Every structure is written in structure tokens, then in C-alpha cells.
Amino acid sequence: MNRSMQEWVDYFRWNGSVAMRVPWHIGPDLSDTERAAIAHSIQVFQLGENSEGRHLMCYAKEWAERTGDAAYPEAIRMLIVEEQRHAGVLARFMEINGIARIKRGCTDGIFRRARNLLGSLEISISVLVTAEIIAKIYYPALSEATASTVLQTICEQIHREEIGHVEFQTEQLARIREGRPAPGMWATRFLHRLLFYPTLMVVGLSHRMVLRRGDLSFWHFFARCHQEFVRDLAAMEPQSIPQLSRRRASETSATAIRANSLKSRVDSHWL
């Protein structure tokens, strides 16, 4: 769609005004078996969603000063707020269902250090979008891993928002890389693959119990994430920006169909 940065600010503002309708009144709706199966996985993802984003905000302000893109820091601030909302909702679900929160994790620590490795906006959002691409496949699997209506509602909302986050980040990466010579772009693609595939292997192996319960084998999960990555990597190319709208419209349409189906199930619990 190639929104202007002000349009992204408007999008995040609108999205933030639409409250996540979670049927909390249902209460704890995980069985003991389900809780044991997803506890570690959801702990790790909840921790990963919770970031203050101080360094990212600094990089965004530097970009705005250098380019005159004054709306970008506000868009990044709203993105961070959405990620924190994900963390908060997951934390509430965990508390209701007797799953303790964790304060640190190996993969989360690696991601946080990698985002600030070179003090660069491009590196920071490249690492962030890597996690978000994988999340686009993980959250639907988590949704299918239990019969919890509450968790399914949460996962549907987070999944929809992660699609928007990836679009936002890939468009920005395309802007950052505009004018980069062909050898530089080849190196950029190579380094991002070097980041993505080992990360994907670690996530797939670490969360394989949830994936199996969500009817995804490790290799099926790997293949779907690979497919998303190839498409999103192409969207990071400066010349690809005009082609974004067709793909994103297709993703949004598919997500809307799933959301309407889930909303019908949720509504039945509210009546």
C-alpha cells in the first residue's frame, strides 16, 4: 500500500482506539494438559513482546532529523505501544491461567543485543521484523494449540497487528535502502538470511510442542516462515514498494475472514 508516514500514524492511532474485545469473563479456560503444553512457549513470547524501545526511539529521532520525516518517531512510538499491549494481554491471560511470567530468556536477550549491535535504525528494525515475520506463523499455531476461546481471541488480534507491523517495517527498510548499489543490496539480503534462518531454527525447535498441537510439524512451520520471509524480503527492496498493495490486500482479506469466523464464536460466549 506504501502509506505515507503520517498515514501510518493515523493507522496506529485508529487501531489503538479499537479495544481488543477479549471475553475475560470466561475465566481460566485451559486444561492442565494444555497449560503444561504451552506454558514455556507463551512465557517466552510474552517476554519478547514487552520492550520499552528506548534505543529504537533514539534511532527513529535521528532518522527524522536527518531526513525531515517528522512523523516517523510518532509512528515508532505507537508501534512500541502496540507491542506492549500484546505483552500486557498475554500477561493477563497467563495470570488468569496460573502461568508465571519470566524476567529473562536466552532468545529474548539475543534479540535485544542484536537490535543494538551497531547502533543503527536499519539493523534494529531488521532484527525486529525477523521476529514479527515468524510471529505471523506462530500465533495462528498457538491459537490452534488449545480450545481456549480467550487465547484464540488474543492470538487473532495479535496476528492481525503483526501483519501491519511487518508491512510498516518492510516499507521503512525499503526507504532506508533507496539508492544502495547492487553489491550492497546483495550483501544486505545475505546478512538478513544469515539472521533469519538460524533464528527460525531456534524458534521452531524451542516451541515445537505448541507447533505440534497447532497441527504444524517443524518442517511445515519452517516452510511457511520461509515463504513469508521470501515475500517480505522482496518487499524490503526499494523498487518493490509500488507492488506492496496487492500482497497486503490479500493478507488482510484472509485475516478478515478468519477474524469474522472467530468473532462469531466469541460472540456466542457473550450472549
- Domains of the chain from N-terminus onward: 5-270 (1.20.1260.10)
Least confident of 9-23, 99-113, 143-157, 159-173: 99-113
Q: Is the pLDDT of residue 271 over 50?
A: no
Letter string b/e over residues 184-222, b meaning 16 or more CB atoms within 10 A of that residue's CB: eeeebeeebeeebeebbeebbebbeebbebbebeeeebb
106: pLDDT confidence band, cut at 50, 70 and 90?
Answer: low
Radius of gyration of the chain (CA): 18
Nearest-angstrom CA–CA distance, 155 and 197 = 24
122: pLDDT confidence band, cut at 50, 70 and 90?
Answer: very high
Q: Is the pLDDT of residue 89 over 80?
A: yes
206: pLDDT confidence band, cut at 50, 70 and 90?
Answer: very high
146: pLDDT confidence band, cut at 50, 70 and 90?
Answer: very high
Q: Where is pLDDT greater, at 207 or 240?
A: 207
Looking at residue 264, its pLDDT comes to: 56
Q: Is 92 exposed, middle or buried (0-12, 13-18, 19+ CB in 10 A)?
A: middle
Q: Where is pLDDT greater, at 251 or 168?
A: 168
Grid cell of 31 as nine digits = 486444561
Looking at residue 108, its pLDDT comes to: 58
Q: Please give the average per-residue pLDDT across 63-68, as a whole number.
A: 95
Could you give the C-alpha distances from 263 to 21, 150, 257, in angstroms and in order?
A: 9, 11, 10
Q: Are 46 and 180 in contact (CB under 8 A)?
A: no
Q: Please give the average per-residue pLDDT across 128-149, as a whole number.
A: 96
What is the percentage of the chain residues whose pLDDT exceeds 90? 73
Q: Is the pLDDT of residue 132 over 90?
A: yes
Grid cell of 139 as nine digits = 500465533
Nearest-angstrom CA–CA distance, 200 and 205 = 8
Looking at residue 104, its pLDDT comes to: 74
| Model pTM score | 0.85
Q: Are 196 and 202 in contact (CB under 8 A)?
A: no
Average pLDDT of the chain to the nearest whole number: 86
Q: Please give the average per-residue pLDDT across 185-201, as a whole number.
A: 95
Could you give the C-alpha distances from 88 to 73, 76, 258, in angstroms and in order?
A: 22, 18, 23
Q: Are 133 and 173 in contact (CB under 8 A)?
A: no
Q: Is the pLDDT of residue 230 over 90?
A: yes
245: pLDDT confidence band, cut at 50, 70 and 90?
Answer: very low
Least confident of 80-84, 150-154, 243-247: 243-247
